[in-house]
Amino acid sequence: MPALRERVEKRLAAAVESDDPAMTEMASHLVRAGGKRLRPVLAAVASTAGAGPATVADDVITGGVACELVHVGSLHHDDVIDEAATRHRVESVNARWGNLRAILSGDFLLARASELAASLGTEVAGLLAATIGRLCEGQVRELQLAYQVERRVIDYEASIEGKTAALFATSCRIGGIVAGAPRRGVDALTEYGRSYGLAFQVVDDILDVVATEEELGKPAGHDMAEGVYTLPVLHTLGQETREAAELRSLLGGPLEPGDQARALALVRAGDGVDAAVTRARSYVDEAVAALAVLPPSAGGDTLAAAAQHLLVGL
């Protein structure tokens, strides 16, 4: 695994080099700040699952790095949308260089991702392009219903399917395609990645409510304050209780500082968090179940363990 991570880091660093030193500095800023590299690691492990080869081919690293560049490019744009000051515990690209340069350097990362995907053939190039579109659709769906207490669970699911799950699904799919897995296996890996991504985002949204500011690196309840009503909040709002009515009366627009603490306390005290944990568990179960059609392998076991790991501490 350390060798795999080194290969990924080396290729990522090379992919963000531009002839223009200013562009190199901006495009490499978040890449150098860190990140878990989940998408390239999942692509790599997916390539070895089932009857895949035991070692990870260079082309698989190329595909995984393309996915990571889409992820980082989307973070540039996301931080502009949110007017975020920090990311990965360093200054965000927009905070340091301004919105225009954050958008353009984000576009540059998408361009580099596209070049890498194109080197793997038209199927991978088309898949990555379609995935970038899905991320944008998911994000727009979220913006459309900001501050809407009427947002439904299916609206939430459609949004996270686009903004988060689509790229995890594509990372795993690319691993399968590049490794030459049979179609049935490629589809199973895609389904695994989609369910993993849905679980990942639900867990992230639960942590935004239950974790401390220190753990999060931002105030708890940040999404709710920004008008993004996630699964624990929607489940709380959906109840016929006095607490749900109070929460409904507080939400619907920007929160006053005192109201933010009260809204958070209402969500933490109700059943919404438990309902969201149950949903995260079922997505994890779906991810593991998707792997059942693959022949047993160490890679498949690692994928199953990675999905289960999402629930640790909940």
70 binds ligand GRG (CB under 6 A): yes
104 lines the binding site for ligand GRG (CB under 6 A): no
In the complex with ligand GRG, which residue's Cβ is closer, 135 or 224?
135
Q: Residue 141 interacts with ligand GRG (CB under 6 A)?
A: no
With CB under 6 A, what is the number of residues at the site for ligand GRG? 19
Half-sphere exposure of 36 (CA within 13 A, CB side): 5
Query: Does residue 89 touch ligand GRG according to CB under 6 A?
Result: no
Tokens of 167: 């790229």
CA 221 – CA 208 distance, rounded (Å):
6
Q: Which of 43, 135, 172, 186 binds ligand GRG (CB under 6 A)?
A: 135
Q: Which of 18, 35, 51, 271 binds ligand GRG (CB under 6 A)?
A: 35
Which residue's CB comes closest to ligand GRG? 35
Name which of 92 and 139 has its Cβ closer to ligand GRG: 139
The nearer residue to ligand GRG, 36 or 242, going by C-beta atoms, is: 36
Binding status of residue 201 toward ligand GRG by CB under 6 A: yes
Which range, of 3-11, 31-39, 181-189, 284-292, touches ligand GRG by CB under 6 A? 31-39
Is residue 136 involved in binding ligand GRG (CB under 6 A)? yes
Smallest gap, in angstroms, from Cβ of residue 230 to ligand GRG?
Answer: 12
The one segment of 10-18, 35-43, 172-180, 298-306 that binds ligand GRG by CB under 6 A: 35-43
Q: Is 163 near ligand GRG (CB under 6 A)? A: yes
230 binding ligand GRG? (CB under 6 A): no
Residues making contact with ligand GRG (CB under 6 A): 35-36, 38, 70, 73-75, 77-78, 81, 110, 132, 135-136, 139, 163-164, 201, 204
